[in-house]
Structure 1
Amino acid sequence: MSASIRLCLLVAIFFHHNRLSRSEDSYDGSDNAAPASPNSEKLRAPPPSASAAALDECDPEMIGFELITGNVFSAPGNVIDSIPGTLMLTDCLETCQGNESCQSVNYETGLCVLFSANADIMPGALTKSQFPVFTIYAQKSCLGVKPCERAWCIDRVQNHRLNGYTKNKQAVSSRQECLELCLGENEFTCRSANYNNETGTCELNSMDRITVAGSTAFQPASGYDYMENNCIEEPSKLCEFKKLSGRILKTVDSVYQDVASVDECRELCLNSPYRCHSYDYGDTGEMVCRLSHHSRATLSDIQEPYLDVPEAATYELSSCYNVTIECRAGDMVARIQTSKLFDGKMYAKGSPNSCVRDVNNSLEFELTMQYDNLECNVRKNGLGRYVNDVVIQHHDKIVTSSDLGLAVTCQYDLTNKSVTNEVDLGVHGDISPALSEEVTVDSPNVAMKITDRKGEDIMQSAEVGDPLALKFEILDKNSPYEIFVRELVAMDGVDSSEIVLIDSNGCPTDHFIMGPIYKSAKSGKILLSHFDAFKFPSSEVVQFRALVTPCMPSCEPVQCDQEDLAGERRSAVSYGKRRRRRSISSSSAAQDDMLLVQTIQITDKFGFDKNANRSSSGSEAIYIAGDGGLCVNVAGLIVAATIFLSAQLAIIAAWTFIWQRRKFNSKLSHHDAMSAVSVSIPPASRADSLCKLYDAGYTHQRRF
C-alpha cells in the first residue's frame, strides 16, 4: 500500500476513534459537523411520530431502505449505537433492520452509526457531508409495496431530476407514495421517479442515471427529489469495465480482504447484493477488494468523491449485455438486452449493409437472420448446425474497441425433435463462453448431397460439364414425412453472385442448367434433380441452398412448363412446390421450412498457363505502330500462317485430283464411242493402285 493511502486511512481511523471517545450528547454522527449551538437541543429526542409507530407495526418483509449519498444525519440525542470497523454497508443496514428502534443510519467505510430518528422527522438534521470522506445516509421505511431482496430499494438525490423520459405523471400525497408507485409499476419498467415536493407531482421514468450515462438528462432541479429504483434487474452475462486510472473512491459499500485476484474482485462486483458499478483491487492493501454501487455517472452531485492516487485505478462498469438466441425452423433471432442506451447498429459479420439492424437509443434490440436469406450469410457447419457471426457496433461507420463480436449457433437435433441454442460470447474471454436453451422443432432430418447422376457417389469436386445430381433425402427411413423443395439457389461465395435454379413455385428456371425435381425409384423419401457441373467466374466453389418443407402423408407435385430442345413448350412434373400461404396472425405462423446448404469445388477445362502473361522467347509480343497501334504475338502469327498455307495446299491438291479424274473419265468415254483410240496400259502395280482409287471414288473425296 502506498504511503499516501496509508496516511489517509490512518487519519480516518484516528478521527473515528477520537469521535467514539466523545459523549453521545456531543457526537453529531459526521466528520464535518458544525459546532454545537444553543439551538442544538431542538434536534434531540423528538416526540414519537407516526413514522416510528408504523415501523414498530410493520411486517419485516415490507421494510425497505432509501439511500442518500453525500449527506450526514446530525442528531446527537438520537444515536442508538456506533459500530466501528464496519466494512460493509449491507451489514450496517441489516443491523438497523434487526433493531426495532433504528430508523436511519450513517455509514462511512469503517463506521456505522444507528439513529432512532430520521430526516423526515428532523429535516434540518440532514446536511451535506464532504470532508475527509463522504457519508451515506440510509432511512428505513415501511413500504406499501413489497421491496426486492436487494440490500436497499431506492437511491435518492435531493434537488435533482431526470428530464425527457417520463412515462407516467400523477399527483400523490407524499414522496414515499411516489417511490411505491415506481416499485409497483407493471405496465412498463420504472427505473426512476421525480417527485416535486411543492406540487406533489410524481413523474415515473423509463430510464435512470446509468442507462443515460454520458447525456445531460440528469440535471439540478430545486424542490425535486430524484429516486432511482435499485430493484431493477440489469443484464449481467457479458459486462465490460473501463479503467479509471489514478483515482479511488473515498467511501465504498463493501471491503473484502484476502481476495486472490482482480478477476475474483470483478466477480464479487457482478454478484453483489446491490447494483455494483465500480471496484478497485490492491490499492488500499494487499489482496483488498472494494466495491461500490457508484460510478462517475452517479456521483455528479458529490464534491470530490475520489482520492487521487497516481498508481491506483478504479474499474467502472461501462455496459452489460444479455444475449439470447431463438432458433426457429426458418431463421435464428439474436436478441440483445443492455444496461446502457445503445445507439448504433447490429449486423451479420461480412454483411454490414445487407443484413443489419439500425438501433436508435434502445435497451433491447434484435437481429433476425433467415436461413434462406443469402445476404445474412448463415453458414451450415455439419448436419443440422447453423452458425453466424454478429457484430454489435457503437459507431455508425467504424468498428472500435468498444464493439462486441458474438458467434451465434443453432444446433438442430432433428432426430430427437429438439433444438439446442448456443451463444459463444467471444469478448476478452472473461465470460462463460456458452448459453443454451431448448425448444421443439417439428421437422424431419433431411440432408442434401451432390452426387453422380445416379444419386449414389457423393462428389466433392468436379469439372465443368460433368453430369451431376442434387439429392434430397430424409435420413430416417421410418419418418412419416415426405418433402418438397423450392427456391434452390446456386451462389458464389466470393462476390455474392447467384442464380436461381428452382423458383418459389418449385419449377426449374432454366432446364438447360437444372432439370425438374423427381422422386427416386428407390424411395419416395429421396428427391433428385440432374444438372451438368457449372461454376462462377470468380470462384471454384459453388454453394447450393434450398428450402425444404416437410408434408404428411405425401407431397403433391407441381406442373411446370418448359421448352424442349426443339423449342416447343411441354409440361413436366416437379417435386418442388410453393409453400402454402398462412395468416400472419395465426398461432401457427412459425415457419416449418428448413434450409439445406451444400458446396462443391468445380474447376473449368480451359487449362490456362499460369505463366501465360510472362514474356518468353516462344511467346514474344511485338507492338506495331499505327493509327491505333497493334499488338502482335510472333508465335501466334507463325502458327496462323502455317495453318493458312496448309489449308491452301490441301485445296489445290483436292482440285487437281478432281480435274484429273474428270479428264480421265472423258477420255474413257471417247474411247468407247470411237473405238479408234489406242490406250497405253501402265504397269500392273500402277493399274492396281488406280483401280483401288477409282473404286473408292467419291468416298475418299468426301473424307478428304
Structure 2
Amino acid sequence: MLFIQNIYLNKFLIFSSIIYLIYLNNCVYSIFECAPQETATFVRISRARLDGTPLVVSTAGHDLTCSQYCRNNIEPTTGAQRLCASFNFDGRETCYFFDDAAAPSAGQAELNPNPSANNFYYEKTCLPAVNAHEACTYRSFSFERIRKTSLEGFVKKSIQVASREQCLSACLKEKEFICRSVNYNYDTYACEMSIEDRRSKPTHLRMTVDQPVDYFDNNCLNRQNRCSQQGGNLVFVKTTQFEIKYYDHTQSVEPQESNCLQKCLDSLNTFCRSVEFSPNEKNCIVSDEDTFSRADQQGAVQNKDYYEPICVSADLSSSTCRQQAAFNRFIGVSIEGQPVATAQGVTIADCVSLCFQNLNCKSLNFDRTQSTCHIFAVGQANANVKKNPSVDFYEFNCESQFGGMALCTNEGIRFIVNTKEPYTGAIYAAEKFSTCSQVVENAKQISITFPPPNISPNCGTTIKV
C-alpha cells in the first residue's frame, strides 16, 4: 500500500512540476509578447552583453535584421516561431538571440560585468499607446539606455507615470516640444523629458549612484526635427583618413562623396550620426555611432574619410560651401594667432555656429577638455599650426554673404547683421515695417532692437512662459 502511495505521490510531483514549468513559460511569454494596444520595439545598451547560452546564433548582417527577427519571434535560421526577448550584437554581423532578458527590469538573466567595446545589448520593450511609426520600428531600436545616469539641469517637462514604458511612450508622443531624452526614476516613477541630450550638453551628464535613475536617448528623431523644432540646419565636418573601429552599419556603394553624404541625410533605417566613404572602393558606411559614443574606438586609417553631421543655429541660405563638407577637422593640432572671437563652456556645434555667424571666420580651434572655442580670421595657409593633444583645428570651407547675432540687452533683443558687401535697404520685423524697421545706406553692419511688449508693442514681441 505504501508503494502504491509513493507511486501516486511521484506522479503528482511530476504533474505539479509540469504545471509549474508551463506556468513559468506562459509568464515569460506574456512579458515579451506585447498587447494589442502596445508596440514591440527595443531599448539598446552599448558596451553591454547578456550572459548565458543563446538559443540561436545568426550572421544576419546587421542589427536591423536581427531586431526584425526578434520583434516578430522568428528564428533566423529556419523561419520557425520562437520566443525572443533580447539579443546581443557584435557590432559587425553576428547576433545572439535569447528567450530571457536582463534583471531586474525585464528578465532573470545578468549582463556581463566585463563586456567588450563592440558589444551591444538589445532588449524587447512593449510601448503603450504608440504606433509602429511613432516607435520607429523601421530602426533597430527606439531608445539608447545609459544606466545609473541622468542629464541634469534641462528638464523641460516632468510627469508621473506607472512604468518606464509609459515614460518612453510619453517622450515619443510629446507634441509641445521635441523630446530628445528622458531621465526615469524607478523608485518615484518620475519621468523627466528634455529638449537637450548627452551630445548637446555633455558636461551635464551625471552618475546617479544614490538613486535608481537611467538616462534614455530618443533614437526616433528624423532629419526634420533632429536640430530644432523648426528643422534646423545640418552641415558636415570631414576628417580625412579616419574611421570608427569595430563597428560597421548600413553599407552601400556610391559613385562619389556627395552621394554618400546624401545617403546619410536621407537615411531612414539608421539615425545617421556619422558616415564613412572610401574614395577608391566607393564604399559608403552610414552609422548611428560617432566620435562621441566611440571615443576609444576611433583612429587613423588609409583610404577612408570620416564625416559627422552637426546641427548649426545659423541661417545657411547665404552660405555657399566650396566643398561637400563645411569644415575639415585636424585632430590634435591648433592654429596660432589672435582669435577674433572666443566662447567658453560650449560644444563643437556651438563653436561651428559661431563661425557661421562671423563673416571673418576662416578657421577655429576647439579645446575638447575645456569646452572652449576660438574663432580665427585666417586659415592654415596664412598661419602656423602646431601639435596640441587636447585641441582640434577646423578649417572653414564656406563663404557667407551675411552673418549676424542676437544680443539680450536692457532695452530688448538687439539684432546685429553684418554683410560682406555694402548694403542699402532696410531690415524690419515681419509684418511690422511701418513701426519696427531700420533703413541704411552703403552699410556693412545693421542693428535693430526689438523691445519687450511691456515697453513697446511696435515690433510685435511676445513673452512666453
What TM-score bracket applies, with the shorter chain setting the length? Answer: 0.5 to 0.7
Kept in 1: contact 2:126–2:165 (CA 8 A)? no
**Structure 2 partner of 1:220:** 207
Kept in 2: contact 1:248–1:312 (CA 8 A)? no
**Structure 2 partner of 1:297:** 292
**Structure 1 partner of 2:101:** 118
Which structure 2 residues correspond to residues 612-631 of structure 1 after superposition, within 5 A?
none
| AA at the equivalent of 1:203 | E
**Cα deviation digits, residues 401-435 of structure 1 (max 9, x gap):** 45854558xxxxxxxxxxxxxxxxxxxxxxxxxxx
How many Å apart are 1:292 and its aligned residue? 1.7
**Structure 2 partner of 1:75:** 52
How many Å apart are 1:267 and its aligned residue? 2.3
Which structure 2 residues correspond to residues 341-490 of structure 1 after superposition, within 5 A?
341=350, 344=354, 401-402=395-396, 405-406=399-400
Separation in 2, partners of 1:145, 1:340: 34
Distance 1:50 1:298, change over 3 A: farther
Which structure 2 residues correspond to residues 273-672 of structure 1 after superposition, within 5 A?
273-282=269-278, 286-299=281-294, 304-306=296-298, 309=301, 313-319=305-311, 340-341=349-350, 344=354, 401-402=395-396, 405-406=399-400, 491=441, 493=442
Find the partner of 1:99 among 67, 70, 73: 73
**Cα deviation digits, residues 21-78 of structure 1 (max 9, x gap):** xxxxxxxxxxxxxxxxxxxxxxx999346574254353497222211111112231xx
Distance 1:281 1:172, change over 3 A: same
Distance 1:80 1:252, change over 3 A: same
**Structure 1 partner of 2:64:** 90
**Greater RCO structure (CA 8 Å; 6+ sep):** 2
How many Å apart are 1:205 and its aligned residue? 1.8
Alignment pair present for 1:139 and 2:123: yes
How many Å apart are 1:238 and its aligned residue? 3.9
Separation in 2, partners of 1:92, 1:171: 33
Kept in 1: contact 2:44–2:122 (CA 8 A)? yes
Paired residue secondary structure (2:270) = coil
How many Å apart are 1:166 and its aligned residue? 1.5
Find the partner of 1:156 among 132, 139, 145: 145
Kept in 2: contact 1:106–1:112 (CA 8 A)? yes
Distance 1:398 1:140, change over 3 A: same
| AA at the equivalent of 2:173 | G
Alignment pair present for 1:185 and 2:163: no
Separation in 1, partners of 2:69, 2:250: 15
Gaps of 5+ in 2: 1-20, 75-82, 318-346, 362-372, 380-394, 403-430, 432-436, 446-456
Distance 1:320 1:74, change over 3 A: farther
Larger radius of gyration between Structure 1 and Structure 2: 1
Paired residue secondary structure (2:147) = strand
TM score, norm. by length of structure 1? 0.39
Separation in 2, partners of 1:397, 1:314: 24
How many Å apart are 1:134 and its aligned residue? 1.2
How many Å apart are 1:103 and its aligned residue? 2.0
CA RMSD of aligned residues (A): 4.5
Find the partner of 1:252 among 248, 252, 256: 248
Separation in 2, partners of 1:201, 1:403: 46
Kept in 2: contact 1:255–1:289 (CA 8 A)? yes
Distance 1:163 1:405, change over 3 A: farther
Paired residue secondary structure (2:292) = helix
| AA at the equivalent of 2:69 | T
Paired residue secondary structure (1:182) = helix
Distance 1:403 1:167, change over 3 A: farther
Separation in 2, partners of 1:488, 1:97: 59
How many Å apart are 1:395 and its aligned residue? 5.7
| AA at the equivalent of 1:217 | H
**Cα deviation digits, residues 664-690 of structure 1 (max 9, x gap):** xxxxxxxxxxxxxxxxxxxxxxxxxxx
Separation in 2, partners of 1:183, 1:163: 20
Which structure 2 residues correspond to residues 681-692 of structure 1 after superposition, within 5 A?
none
